């Protein structure tokens, strides 16, 4: 199997996603039935965190153990990564000792440099630019609740951030449309997303973006690494709080998603995230199942 990294959503094809969604469903079914699924016995995953995490850490760590493998957890503070050892050297060393690496860091260029010097697959566990594992889980969650996402409309309300960029990449690849509404100055950067504009439409009014949507989704106003902008962002984003009126503007069976962690009363009202259209807990759980399918695929391909 040739070396395959997962650094952006565009690193896999639509056919590969179709396989992963089917495989994740099977892996989830086995997990729910307490049936062992251990294709990665003796394999080791290194997880490198330069930013905080709950879901990404638990889902990758529990997932790798459930697949029969083991995990090494590194952070900037407790490794030489925080003491300026070059990324290229870290990549050469770590990838001689483990079978797979997951990295959560700042600039996408850091993970790209690591991957260039890695002998094993590297997975993006969130960068400033992208969060592909989350969108993998979100689309799997949509499919579970509503079937294929092809031809559907996703409303993105809030920051033009890593999640927004990745939704756009997914829309172009899998054939759906994203209605994007951000405050001025926080727009998505089409060059970073690397997509054509016909996979997304921009709306100044978040209510218009939600109109007729099959899925309404948002994220924190201030992503990790941008904390110094918090006060300015709170002012700029005040009208970009997903509320019951926005959900009423969407289709009557529209879902609500949020990658979490959430701030009730900021980017979403409690009645929406805790309401009947919200699937945020399924979304979080599905990180586990889709990433198990992803890790298995990157290491073993498509086992018969």
Work out whether 62 is an interface residue with ligand CP (CB under 6 A): no
Among 8, 118, 223, 291, binds ligand NVA (CB under 6 A): 223
Q: Is the Cβ of residue 153 or residue 223 nearer to ligand NVA in the bound state?
A: 223
Work out whether 259 is an interface residue with ligand NVA (CB under 6 A): yes
Dist. CA 135–CA 77, nearest whole Å: 28
Among 13, 38, 54, 197, binds ligand CP (CB under 6 A): 54
72 binds, among ligand CP, ligand NVA, none (CB under 5 to 8 A by kind): none
Which parts of the chain are beta strand (E)?
44-49, 70-75, 100-104, 122-124, 153-157, 177-181, 200-202, 215-218, 255-258
User: Would you please indicate which residues are annotated as catalytic (active-site) residues?
Assistant: 104, 131, 134, 219, 259, 287
**284-288 contacts: CB < 8 A, separation 24 or more?**
284/55, 284/137, 284/260, 286/24, 286/28, 286/137, 286/138, 286/140, 286/141, 286/144, 287/55, 287/56, 287/59, 287/133, 287/134, 287/137, 288/31, 288/58, 288/59, 288/62, 288/63, 288/66
Work out whether 162 is an interface residue with ligand NVA (CB under 6 A): yes
Dist. CA 263–CA 232, nearest whole Å: 16
Compose the 78-117 pattern: x for residues touching ligand CP by CB under 6 A, - for all others.
----------------------------------------
Give all strands of the β-sheet with 255-258 in edge-to-edge order.
200-202, 177-181, 153-157, 215-218, 255-258
Token pair, residue 288, equals 């586990």
54 binds, among ligand NVA, ligand CP, none (CB under 5 to 8 A by kind): ligand CP
Dist. CA 237–CA 229, nearest whole Å: 12
Dist. CA 198–CA 290, nearest whole Å: 28
Q: Whole-number minimum distance, CB 97 to ligand NVA, in Å?
A: 28
Give the binding range for ligand CP (CB under 6 A) out of 52-60, 141-149, 194-202, 269-277.
Answer: 52-60
Compose the 99-138 pattern: x for residues touching ligand NVA by CB under 6 A, - for all others.
---------------------------x------------
Q: Is the Cβ of residue 129 or residue 172 nearer to ligand NVA in the bound state?
A: 129
Residue nearest to ligand NVA (CB): 223
Contacts to ligand CP by CB under 6 A? 53-56, 126, 134, 259-260
Contacts to ligand NVA by CB under 6 A? 126, 161-163, 219-220, 223-224, 259
């Amino acid at each position: 199997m040739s070396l395959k990294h997962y650094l952006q959503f565009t690193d896999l094809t639509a056919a590969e996603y179709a396989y992963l969604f089917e495989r994740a469903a099977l892996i989830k079914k086995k997990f729910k039935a307490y049936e062992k699924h251990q294709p990665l016995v003796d394999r080791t995953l290194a997880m490198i965190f330069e930013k905080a995490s709950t879901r990404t850490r638990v889902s990758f760590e529990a997932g790798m153990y459930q697949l029969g493998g083991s995990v090494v957890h590194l952070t900037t503070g407790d490794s030489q990564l925080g003491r300026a050892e070059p990324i290229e050297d870290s990549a050469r060393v770590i990838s001689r000792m483990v079978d797979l690496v997951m990295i959560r860091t700042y600039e996408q260029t850091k993970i790209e440099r690591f991957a260039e010097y890695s002998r094993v697959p590297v997975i993006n566990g969130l960068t400033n630019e992208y969060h592909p594992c989350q969108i993998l889980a979100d689309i799997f969650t949509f499919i579970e609740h509503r079937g294929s996402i092809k031809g559907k409309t996703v409303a993105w309300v809030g920051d033009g951030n890593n999640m927004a960029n990745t939704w756009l990449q997914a829309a172009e690849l899998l054939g759906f449309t994203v209605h994007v509404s951000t405050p001025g100055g926080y727009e998505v950067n089409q060059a970073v997303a690397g997509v054509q504009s016909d996979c997304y439409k921009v709306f100044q009014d978040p209510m218009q973006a939600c109109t007729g949507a099959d899925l309404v989704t948002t994220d924190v106003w201030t992503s990790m690494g941008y904390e110094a902008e918090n006060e300015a962002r709170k002012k700029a984003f005040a009208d970009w709080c997903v509320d019951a009126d926005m959900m009423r503007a969407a289709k009557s069976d529209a879902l609500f998603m949020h990658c979490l962690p959430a701030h009730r009363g900021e980017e979403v009202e409690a009645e929406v995230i805790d309401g009947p259209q919200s699937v945020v807990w399924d979304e979080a759980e599905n990180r586990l199942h889709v990433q198990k399918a992803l890790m298995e695929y990157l290491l073993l391909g498509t086992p018969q």
